[in-house]
Amino acid sequence: MHQLTIKKLFKNPLAYDQKNLTFKAWVVSNRGNKKVRFLTINDGSTAESLQCVAKEESLGINVLDALDNTHLGAAVLVEGLLKHTPEAKQNAELVISKFELLKDSDLDFPIQKQQINLETLREIPHLRHRTNLLRAVFLIRSTLAYEIHKYFQENDFMYFSAPIITSNDGEGAGETFNVNDSNSKEPFFGENKATLGVTGQLHAESYALGFNKVYTFAPTFRAEHSNTKKHAAEFWMIEPEVAFYELNDVINLADDLLKTAIKNTIAKHEYEFKFLVENVDNNLINKLNKFLNNKISIIDYKDAINELAKVRDEFEEKNITFGLDLATEHERYISEKLFDGPVAVINFPKEFKAFYMYQNDDGKTVAAFDLLVPGIGELIGGSQREVRNDKLLERIKEVGVSQEDLQWYLDLRRFGNAGSSGFGIGFERLVMYVTGVDNIRDVIPYPRTSGNIKM
Amino acid sequence: MHQLTIKKLFKNPLAYDQKNLTFKAWVVSNRGNKKVRFLTINDGSTAESLQCVAKEESLGINVLDALDNTHLGAAVLVEGLLKHTPEAKQNAELVISKFELLKDSDLDFPIQKQQINLETLREIPHLRHRTNLLRAVFLIRSTLAYEIHKYFQENDFMYFSAPIITSNDGEGAGETFNVNDSNSKEPFFGENKATLGVTGQLHAESYALGFNKVYTFAPTFRAEHSNTKKHAAEFWMIEPEVAFYELNDVINLADDLLKTAIKNTIAKHEYEFKFLVENVDNNLINKLNKFLNNKISIIDYKDAINELAKVRDEFEEKNITFGLDLATEHERYISEKLFDGPVAVINFPKEFKAFYMYQNDDGKTVAAFDLLVPGIGELIGGSQREVRNDKLLERIKEVGVSQEDLQWYLDLRRFGNAGSSGFGIGFERLVMYVTGVDNIRDVIPYPRTSGNIKM
């Protein structure tokens, strides 16, 4: 199954010097004259393209003509001798000995040499990944996902599939999508309401009880009408849940997970990160390295409020007292100005957190954390779970969630549940943080937002 | 982050002989008297439990009393000296020096010593994984998922997230769920219909064009009312798509992927497979080894029809001629009797296959394959895709799918598309095949079927 990719070639071009190589790939640029043509091709293994040179003297005029008539985006087969060129801009070049046009591209192929802005590219989600920027983003996305799986598997976590269609609204926020059979007026699931899951957490808790360490990695859905750069109706979440863990343990887990996955991803994408630094954010690698080399900061919510109150004039919302639900402007101030790096805000007032969080002794706050990162705001939300049946039931009644729907969840507290903690990472927000791309629509292949469902 | 699990201990008990170890785990059995008690505990890392012995002479009567009052399912902390016992049934035992009851379990904890049948367990999906059988199944499921990701990543595939909510019915079968905002009469996605995806393939094709080798691993949905052992309304699919591949290439890919993932999974779960052989199917390992050691067989659909026609009396559906859509009884005969192993049936009549499949020169069949396996029937469906715009459009019109909805998909043919091939593996069916468990409801944590949506 193994075949040579352009990525592998560029990793060690010396190893392929003077070897005869074959690639099937797509044309990225094509210039030259009747005597010599320079073709760059990309095979999707990296954002980096390979320059190939074709000479009339060895290939003949017919092949040069065929090359001349090959359009950007065309699928080609090239065979030739590799030359290691350490002194050149690119340290490898292929001297074509055989060329085959596998399938040309029509002239209206929208990805041409001139740069297209990201808004315009969003109109063609089926083609936009054939630009360098989106290629880099989606390759990094793939590796990041795998490194997250790898981290969990190597640390004894069981991968668990929470149901997507569920009758429980895990956050109690009510921003759910209903699910109905397209072809029948009869409800597919009988009397039960059926919605798309907003979290896998409640179900993951049941599996942490018995399996100890579990995680989900799955799509979640919010019927959220906010039209911002960081909200989508469909996005992927990673939700670890660990029995016997308390708040500090999961913050440490988040720290270790993020660092390991980001570090390994950077190591696998030297070219893509170079490209992003040059084209998206020249501070990107510095920012990521700073995170890799420092422990996540922790600040108590009430201390954060005190700090924010000192500079209240900087904010639109100036009424900064205990009880304020932090807005993005406050979150960004905390991570960007106060800490200049990722920071976990802990012990939030229970009023604006979900019912399942552990109630602290002060009677006012819960053992929750939000991980805020520069440029994004909230990347992770997590908590220690309320394991005391009476406290949990009291809170369920207070917030008005149906006890009947959640009786199974309450019952988990009766069967050897010594507590658990967990968190949810918005995967696309993590991709935004790692790539420096500032709009969630550009890190999801086919983004879904309010009013928008292309293809 | 690393801590000793019972799985790691059993891998090399000699390494821990005479060492002081601590485990947080759940009580699986608890027997003995006032002088000596035997506690077995499970920490979820393996289906295998660890025996611990507590002696009154060293711990005192209070601890023995506390142990006596600890119920099945309770969460406990045990600390003690490990004894390597190669002569005993279990080759390790922990002599308890410290015991702590972290959280007891109520007396109505349903998982007690006597075995419960799988139907009854389906009523308690939040607790059933605390039995040995379901523990084994879900641990294997997790590893199998990871080994599939690993295979693809090591073979240069990009992991790609196809949209779940889509306006395209990729199979054209119409068995879709609609998605609506729970809180609004206004359609969330505007004028467009919004359904849950039945496949990520069409979108994956767009990404194979440019990235070359891509795969999805995501939930898919069918509003299918059939109430069988192998159908669920929500299940996970793995869909690789590879540019430049033809039918034979993807059959080889399926063969290599399945063998690699299954072999690696077996190697990681010695105890779980031993348990399944003893409790579910004593031929399980033989069956899997036979598959691992033989190439997938291939038979042309028309030859399969000829073979089936010879034994038509064995089937309910006896009218066996070219054009028959194989039923489960036929599929099982082919894989179980004719080949006694996995077999790819290829070149099906186009009438009962989806519109996007490559039309063979005979004008009657398409370059599709179904991989049939003993005990399950269809495990994989795949095909070479129709890359010729005119042929594809003709078929779209014939089957009555909206051309307007699929114009983007047709357009992929105009921009350097030299063809691609791919397939979909029903992940849960693969878990059934690998574990020997014969009902899909027992390999999904919270199964969703017609009329059934527990929790």
Chain B contact present for A191, CB below 8 A: no
Per CATH, the number for B128-442 is: 3.30.930.10
pLDDT band for position B454 (cuts 50, 70, 90): confident
The structure tokens listed for A294 are: 């420092």
B50 beta partners: B41
Cα–chain-centroid distance for residue B167?
27
The structure tokens listed for B30 are: 């608890």
Residue of B nearest to A73 (CA): B416
Phi (first) and psi of residue A266, to 5 degrees: -60, -45
First to last CA, chain A: 32
Interchain pair B7, A156: CB under 8 A: yes
The residue-averaged pLDDT of B337-352 equals 95
Chain B residues in contact with A130 by the CB 8 A cut-off are 209-210
For residues B372 and B341, is the Cβ–Cβ distance under 8 A? no
B372 beta partners: B343, B378
The reported pLDDT for the residue numbered B115 is: 83
Res. B25: pLDDT tops 90: yes
Residue type at position A420: S
Interchain pair B189, A448: CB under 8 A: yes
- Per residue, the 3-state secondary structure of B48-85, as one string, reads CCEEEEEEHHHHCHHHHHHHHCCCCCCEEEEEEEEEEC
Chain A residues in contact with B108 by the CB 8 A cut-off are 414
Q: Alpha-carbon distance B446 to A205, whole Å?
A: 13
Interchain pair B174, A182: CB under 8 A: yes
Chain B contact present for A338, CB below 8 A: no
Longest distance between any two alpha carbons in chain B, whole Å:
86
Chain B contact present for A412, CB below 8 A: yes
Q: Alpha-carbon distance A302 to B90, whole Å?
A: 53
Residue of A nearest to B253 (CA): A1
Q: Which run of H or of E encompasses A141?
A: helix A132-154
Chain A contact present for B253, CB below 8 A: yes
Interchain pair A210, B408: CB under 8 A: no
The residue-averaged pLDDT of B378-393 equals 96
Q: Alpha-carbon distance B394 to B390, whole Å?
A: 6
Helix, strand counts (H, E) of chain B: 14, 16
Q: What share of chain A is helix, strand, coil (3-state, %, to 5)?
A: 35, 25, 40
Helix (H, G, I), strand (E, B) or coil at B370: strand
Of B45, B161, B210, Cβ closest to residue A129? B210
Give the single-character DSSP code of B442. G
For residues A280 and A134, is the Cβ–Cβ distance under 8 A? no
Chain B contact present for A26, CB below 8 A: yes
pLDDT band for position A1 (cuts 50, 70, 90): very low
Of A145, A212, A233, Cβ closest to residue B43? A212
Chain B residues in contact with A414 by the CB 8 A cut-off are 105-106, 108-109
Res. A172: pLDDT tops 70: no
Interchain pair B127, A415: CB under 8 A: yes
Per CATH, the number for A6-109 is: 2.40.50.140
Interchain pair A203, B104: CB under 8 A: no
Phi (first) and psi of residue A295, to 5 degrees: -65, 145
Interchain pair A161, B211: CB under 8 A: no
Q: Alpha-carbon distance A380 to A385, whole Å?
A: 16
Chain A residues in contact with B25 by the CB 8 A cut-off are 212
Q: Alpha-carbon distance A178 to A186, whole Å?
A: 14
Chain A contact present for B206, CB below 8 A: yes
Q: Alpha-carbon distance B423 to B215, whole Å?
A: 10
Q: Alpha-carbon distance B91 to B93, whole Å?
A: 7
* pLDDT tens, position by position, B249-287: 999 999 999 999 999 999 999 999 999 999 999 999 999
Q: Alpha-carbon distance B433 to B428, whole Å?
A: 9
Chain A contact present for B446, CB below 8 A: yes
B183 beta partners: none
Interchain pair A2, B234: CB under 8 A: no
pLDDT > 90: percent of chain B? 85
For CA atoms B126, B131, B134, B139, the dihedral sign is positive
For residues B93 and B18, is the Cβ–Cβ distance under 8 A? no
Q: Which run of H or of E encompasses B344?
A: strand B343-349
A211, A246, A402: best to mutate for the B interface, most B CBs within 10 A: A211
Res. B2: pLDDT tops 90: no
Interchain pair A207, B129: CB under 8 A: yes
Interchain pair B165, A448: CB under 8 A: yes
Average pLDDT of the residues of chain A? 94
Res. B1: pLDDT tops 60: no
Of A418, A419, A451, Cβ closest to residue B190? A451
The residue-averaged pLDDT of B56-80 equals 97
Interchain pair B160, A183: CB under 8 A: no
Of B186 and B283, more confident: B283
The structure tokens listed for A114 are: 């001139």
For residues A369 and A423, is the Cβ–Cβ distance under 8 A? yes
The structure tokens listed for B188 are: 């969330």
Task: Tell me how far CA of residue A237 lies from CA of A240, A453, B164, B238, in angstroms.
Answer: 10, 20, 14, 18
Taking the CA of residue A319 and the nearest CA in chain B, the distance in Å comes to: 31
For residues B172 and B403, is the Cβ–Cβ distance under 8 A? no
Closest CA to B179 of A237, A447, A222, A454: A222
What residues contact B424, with CB distance under 8 A and at least 6 apart? Answer: B199, B201, B237, B238, B239, B380, B381, B382
Model ipTM value: 0.97
Question: Where are the strands (E) in B123-212, listed by range?
Answer: 158-159, 165-166, 177-181, 195-196
Chain B contact present for A195, CB below 8 A: yes
Chain B residues in contact with A5 by the CB 8 A cut-off are 156
Taking the CA of residue B189 and the nearest CA in chain A, the distance in Å comes to: 4
For residues A230 and A431, is the Cβ–Cβ distance under 8 A? no
Q: Alpha-carbon distance A36 to A22, whole Å?
A: 20
pLDDT band for position A421 (cuts 50, 70, 90): very high
For residues B441 and B450, is the Cβ–Cβ distance under 8 A? no
Taking the CA of residue A242 and the nearest CA in chain B, the distance in Å comes to: 11
* pLDDT tens, position by position, A63-78: 999 999 999 999 999 9
The reported pLDDT for the residue numbered B225 is: 84
Domain map (residue ranges) of chain B: 6-109, 128-442
Give the pairing type, strands B365-373 and B377-384.
Answer: antiparallel
Residue in the structure block whose two tokens are 């004028």: B191
Res. B173: pLDDT tops 70: no
Residue of B nearest to A419 (CA): B103
* pLDDT tens, position by position, A195-247: 999 999 999 999 999 999 999 999 999 998 888 999 999 999 999 999 999 99
Helix (H, G, I), strand (E, B) or coil at B381: strand
Chain B contact present for A120, CB below 8 A: no
Interface of B with A in 39-98 (CB under 8 A): 42-45, 73-75
Of A146, A165, A182, Cβ closest to residue B234? A165
Could you give the count of Cα atoms lying within 13 Å of B85 in the half-sphere of its Cβ?
14
